[in-house]
Structure 1
Amino acid sequence: MSVTHSPEIHAQLLDRIPSVTGRELHEWFDTLDRGPSLTRCSERTNWLADEHNLSHGYAQAIVQEYVRRRRNRTPVPRQR
């Protein structure tokens, strides 16, 4: 079963990621972009935690934010 953090806990985890991991959030997003083509959030979370020695909580927060931002991204209009 997937466990999601409350909005408050999620924000706190995101704020701490740079100091805990030594990498900024956008760097983790780049890592996910370059990583394996996993479709499920749980698979991405497990891969990130295992491959980069992150706690499951931080890995899950990174993946959730990555998915949220990708979902909310405004498409760039094509020029003709």
Structure 2
Amino acid sequence: MSQTHFSEETHRNLIDRIPHCTGREVSEWLSALDEGPALFRFEEKVSWLRGEHDLSYGHAKALVHEYDLRRAARNLR
């Protein structure tokens, strides 16, 4: 599962600001993670986003956490 050290409020604020800060919607970033390399570890995904897409550490971490949350929710259905 995700290794976020952000509070839920901070996570939501980061996710809400991503479109403004990056010019791409959160759904686009989640698709990029889905279509990217098959990385298993949280920090590997964060590093890949940062290196491949030049994201800040906070935004990359928030996106990977959001990706993991949504993937877990899909698996529960």
Q: Common fold, TM-score beyond 0.5?
A: yes
1:1-80 counterparts in 2 under 5 A? 4-73=5-74, 74-75=76-77
TM-score (norm 2): 0.90
Higher helix share: 2
Name the CA distance, whole Å, in 2 between partners of 1:61 and 1:3: 8
Aligned-pair identity (%): 49
Gaps of 5+ in 1: 76-80
Larger Rg: 1
TM-score (norm 1): 0.87
Q: Which runs of 4+ in 1 moved over 6 A?
A: none
Counterpart AA for 1:24: E
Provide the aligned C-alpha RMSD in A: 1.2
